[in-house]
Amino acid sequence: MSCENEAAKVAKDEINKLKANLEKTERSYSEQAIAEIELIFHIYSGRLIQKYQRGLGLFIERNDGEELKLLIAEKFEYYAILSMTSGKASALSLSFFLSLSRVYQTAPLILIDDPSQSLDEMNIAPLTDLLRCEFNNRQLIVSSHENDISAYMRCRFNKAGLSTRSLNMQRWAIGALATTD
């Protein structure tokens, strides 16, 4: 075997070792992250996905170290996401985002772009209460193109003694354009 072939074999073996180590580290990191958010995710998904079949809340699991599974019951082999409406899928996404924010985020700011766009109306109240109770120590910026949803959320926050402010970006932009003309 030539020196070049031997060097290539050594390099290939080293790359394979690095790849295996990277995969092991990634799997370990994912399992740790799932362990750290699984309870809070179950609670938040139970609040936002109202009366989902077989109980409240979804369980999160890593399938064979490769993909995440969201199950309607612990160890029950049924992918919940396959039967969800777009509103429930949106609530699921918000549950996951808020769980990650609750566990890992250190910045005192949360931005949510138009959560009411695909949420069912019955899910706006639990979302508002979740934000108001669980994230009252953070600055929340929630955008909405629906004035009634914005007013409802601000009312719930105000009743809890939290300050709110509404900014109509469309009017603000028109006002800014008018002053530059």
What are the tens digits of pLDDT across the range 139-174?
A: 999 998 888 999 999 999 999 999 999 988 888 888
For position 134, what pLDDT does the model report? 94
Q: Specify the length of the chain in residues.
A: 181
Higher pLDDT, 105 or 80: 105
Whether the per-residue pLDDT at 65 is higher than 60: the answer is no
What is the model's pLDDT at position 14?
95
Dist. CA 136–CA 125, nearest whole Å:
16
pLDDT (tens digit per residue) in 12-28: 999 999 999 999 998 88
Q: What is the pLDDT of residue 28?
A: 87
CA distance 73 to 32: 20
* pLDDT digits 0-9 by tens, 89-134: 888 889 999 999 999 999 999 999 988 887 877 788 999 999 999 9
- Region 50-63: what's the mean pLDDT? 66
Query: Per-residue pLDDT for 52 more than 70?
Result: no
Secondary structure of residue 158 in the 3-state scheme: helix
Per-residue pLDDT at 146 = 87
For the chain, the average pLDDT equals 84
Contact (Cβ atoms closer than 8 angstroms) between residue 131 and residue 140: yes
Backbone φ and ψ of 167, nearest 5°? -130, 115
Q: Which of 146, 97, 141 has the alpha carbon at shortest distance from 121?
A: 146
Give the H/E segment covering residue 95: helix 86-104
Give CA–CA dist 129/132, Å, rounded.
5
In the structure encoding, which two tokens stand for residue 89, read together? 């899928």
Given a cut of 70, is residue 64 above it in pLDDT? no
- What is the pLDDT, as a whole number, of residue 1? 64
Q: How confident is the model at residue 77 (pLDDT cuts 50, 70, 90)?
A: low
- pTM of the prediction? 0.76
More confident call, 72 vs 137? 137
- Find, among 121, 161, 169, 160, the residue nearest to 142 by Cα: 169
